[in-house]
Amino acid sequence: MMDFLLILPVVLSLLILIISSKLRYYFALFITLYVSVISSIPAISLLINFGSTPFVFYIFSTEIIIDNLSAFFMIVTNFTMLTGMLFSKGYLQPYLSKKSSYEIAIHYCNYLLLHVSMLLVLVFRNGFAFLIAWELMAVSSFILILFEGEKRSTLKTAVNYLIQMHIGFVFLLIAFLICQSETGNISFDALKIYFANHNNSFLFMMFFVGFAIKAGFIPLHTWLPDAHPAAPSHVSGTMSGVMIKMGIYGIIRVLSYVHFDLYLIGFFILLISAISGILGVMFAIIQHDLKKLLAYHSIENIGIIGMGIGLGTIGLGINNPLLVMLGFSGALLHVLNHSLFKSLLFYSAGSVYKNYHTHNIEQLGGVIHKMPKTAAFFLIGSIAICGLPPLNGFISEFLIYLGLFKGLTTGTFHNSILMLLAIIALVLIGGLAIFCFTKVFSVVFLGTSRKKMENEVNEVGNDMLFPQLLISLAIIAIGLFPMIFIKPITIIVSGLFKINTDSYILSITDTFSKIGIISITLIVITGSLIILRSKMLKKRKVNYGTTWGCGSANISGKQQYTGSSFANNFSDIARPLLHIKKEYNQISENEIFPAKRSFYTHPEDVFKKTILKIVDFLMMILKKLARLQTGQIQHYILYAFIFILLIFILMYLKFI
């Protein structure tokens, strides 16, 4: 029976290739619903009945286990994939006349395969089965990125993505094989035996690199800022919302088996996460491409999640259950929160792109006047991602803050310094995120349009707004009723790391209940003031001027702040860390009437630039080595003679 339930969505996904184009979307939606419901039933059942035994199934003799951790990630995955499918109906509408029916069918087929593969990643414990599902996830997402493969840049990005995913795959394969060579078993459960008798740091690092490439930790992130903008917006939302979280799942899963070196590992994760968070948001601020900016914010939020994981791991290392609970609970709640507000932001950006046909922030302006509902959803996502009350981002970041402040008093001086630096890093990340989204919202949505559109711009349809509404309600619900979501997550952490969290849950319940009440009060007061203002202004004649017009009535779109000018001061301060390439012709002293000029800035990712230099160096060596292939038989005999001579020399010197 279970074999049939698993194979059915895969077969149905392939049937999309032959089904009528009129029914294709609804058929894909039906399969998404089927997969979501059939996998959410055991997951929700497990999370409702806390502490119950994990579900164990066998499909084609392969063990499938759904425990609390898997169940949590499955629900996050299902919700995001479902909203992505709903959003795709309106978003793909203009492509139906540009793409062949077969191309649309392949797109939906791979979307469903991505959904199924992520769920399999979460439930397989056998190493080989896990790696097959991991590979299926990489290939299906590669084809989704390739949707507009006729563009050379998209093709290059997709190939780069696939190569980096396979580098990560090799690290995971080697890690599993090392475990198998010592334990005779290739599975996650065998890690418990391996870590009990061997050095923990080395094998953990092998797994960490493999998973961190998928998650997008700096400096292993170079695929992410290009892949997200290249993909369609509903794919970007699901990739950023849940696919990169498969890396986070893998790291937490492996950590649950680690016995020793936990403080060292926790320190490492905290350090690389803080770097990822700070640099991610700094790179985001200087971007001109809206989707690339959001992609860098994914790196920033992976950094915040990582800081929670690092804090929890340090708690394990110093045997402090409170830090374990706050750190891992904050990280897991931020996984859920990020899946919500990041998918919402990508969908909103997709709505803007559908009407304005550009992601370039410098070419957008005054969008709120044409698309007020999209602007409202983007604003909700912006407030949430900045970690501001009363929305969900504040709750998860507050949990991590709470853990870091508790860590200040753990007894050792160096630990207190570490926590203090982490708090400063988190404050810096939050402040820069507010700056970045103030820039984005004001430049893109406020002011006036910067260019005349060929067609009248209107709000997108309800089919694209409805999934954004669903996500917004979830974001608000977590912000107003945090304990409903925090409590199950703390119990997941409790079961995973075998700690008793009952007394600690009670200690934070009061705090978060008060936060919920204050948030509700804040919303009621704000809403009342808006209604009161509206009624008072109704009887008066109100003149509205242009945003940033400073009283002038003759402001054109070109005179408004651009993204570059808004962030100019920041760019100057951050110049030692960020590379911004400028293209312009200097005005000479003799030019009394300067000719028309252009000015362009190009932000550069220093890590990507460094990697490209290494790749270029390797390519140069390979090209030189290729000269050895002359086609002359006497040359090959000479190579063989040199090789044998080299072997004799090494043997004589006793190197071999």
pLDDT of residue 656: 67
Q: pLDDT tens across 165-216, in order?
A: 999 999 999 999 999 998 989 999 999 999 988 888 999 999 999 999 999 9
- The whole-number average pLDDT for the span 556-568 is 78
pLDDT over 70 percentage in the chain: 96
Burial 299-309 (b: 16+ CB within 10 A, else e): bbbbbbbbbbb
Q: Is 507 helix (H, G, I), strand (E, B) or coil?
A: helix
Q: Report whether pLDDT(276) > 80.
A: yes
State how far the Cα of 323 lies from the Cα of 327, in Å rounded to an integer: 6
- What tokens were used for 603? 């932000």
Q: Is 324 helix (H, G, I), strand (E, B) or coil?
A: helix
State how far the Cα of 277 lies from the Cα of 382, in Å rounded to an integer: 17
Give the Å distances, CA to CA, from 649 to 34, 614, 639: 67, 32, 15
List, as own/partner pairs, every contact residues 188-191 make where C-beta atoms lie below 8 angstroms and the sequence separation is at least 24, other chains included.
188/125, 188/127, 188/130, 188/253, 188/254, 188/257, 189/125, 189/257, 190/127, 191/254, 191/257
**Among 362-366, 399-403, 567-571, whose mean pLDDT is lowest?**
567-571
Q: Provide the angle, in degrees to the nearest 10, between the axes of the packed helices 482-497 and 68-91.
A: 130
DSSP symbols for 383-416: HHHTT-TTSHHHHHHHHHHHHHHHHTTSS-HHHH
pLDDT of residue 561: 81
DSSP symbols for 180-193: HHHHS--BSTHHHH
DSSP symbols for 576-620: TT-EEEEE-PPPPTT-SSPPP---EEEEE-HHHHHHHHHHHHHHH
**Among 26-30, 421-425, 507-511, whose mean pLDDT is lowest?**
507-511
- The whole-number average pLDDT for the span 417-425 is 93
Cβ atoms of residues 305 and 283 within 8 Å: no
Q: Report whether pLDDT(50) > 70.
A: no
Query: 397: closest CA among 270, 295, 274, 308?
Result: 308
- The conformation of residue 454, written as its DSSP 8-state character, comes to S
- By the 10 Å C-beta count (0-12 exposed, 13-18 middle, 19+ buried), 625 is classed as exposed
State how far the Cα of 330 lies from the Cα of 492, in Å rounded to an integer: 12
Q: Report whether pLDDT(411) > 90.
A: no
pLDDT of residue 627: 79
List of residues 6+ apart from 151 with CB closer than 8 A: 230
List, as own/partner pairs, every contact residues 36-41 make where C-beta atoms lie below 8 angstroms and the sequence separation is at least 24, other chains included.
36/78, 36/79, 36/81, 36/82, 38/5, 39/74, 39/78, 39/119, 40/74, 40/75, 40/78
Q: pLDDT tens across 429-457, in order?
A: 999 999 999 999 999 998 888 877 777 88
Q: Report whether pLDDT(467) > 90.
A: yes
Cα angle value 307/407/315 (rounded, 5°):
65
First to last CA, the chain: 57
State how far the Cα of 239 lies from the Cα of 202, in Å rounded to an integer: 29
Q: Report whether pLDDT(508) > 90.
A: no
DSSP symbols for 239-268: IIIIITHHHHHHHHHHHTT--S-HHHHHHH
Cα angle value 624/628/634 (rounded, 5°):
160
- The whole-number average pLDDT for the span 13-23 is 82
pLDDT of residue 654: 74
Beta bridge partners of 63: 58
* Higher-scoring residue by pLDDT: 367, 13: 367
Q: Is 124 helix (H, G, I), strand (E, B) or coil?
A: strand
Which residue type is seen at 193? I
List of residues 6+ apart from 224 with CB closer than 8 A: 216, 244, 295, 298, 299
Residue 95 C-beta-side C-alpha neighbours within 13 Å: 21
Q: Report whether pLDDT(551) > 80.
A: no
Helix, strand, coil % in the chain, rounded to nearest 5:
75, 5, 20
For residue 410, name the pLDDT band (cuts at 50, 70, 90): confident
Give the Å distances, CA to CA, from 625 to 619, 630, 638: 10, 11, 15
Give the Å distances, CA to CA, from 346 to 133, 233, 319, 329, 334: 26, 6, 40, 25, 17
Q: Report whether pLDDT(70) > 80.
A: yes
Q: Report whether pLDDT(326) > 90.
A: yes
pLDDT of residue 549: 66
Asked whether the bond before 94 is cis by omega within 30 degrees of 0, the reply is: no
Helix/strand number for the chain, H first, E second: 25, 4
List of residues 6+ apart from 257 with CB closer than 8 A: 188, 189, 191, 192, 195
Residue 323 C-beta-side C-alpha neighbours within 13 Å: 25
Cβ atoms of residues 138 and 162 within 8 Å: yes
Q: Report whether pLDDT(539) > 90.
A: no
- What tokens were used for 80? 């995001």
Q: Report whether pLDDT(137) > 80.
A: yes
Kindly report the pTM of this predicted structure. 0.90
Query: 132: closest CA among 279, 240, 10?
Result: 10
pLDDT of residue 150: 85
Give the Å distances, CA to CA, from 84 to 52, 234, 242, 391: 32, 5, 11, 21
State how far the Cα of 226 lies from the Cα of 302, in Å rounded to an integer: 17
For residue 651, name the pLDDT band (cuts at 50, 70, 90): confident
Give the Å distances, CA to CA, from 284 to 306, 434, 443, 610: 18, 12, 15, 19
Q: Quick one: residue 95, left, alpha or beta (phi over 0 = left, psi -120 to 50 = alpha)?
A: alpha
pLDDT of residue 554: 67
pLDDT of residue 142: 94
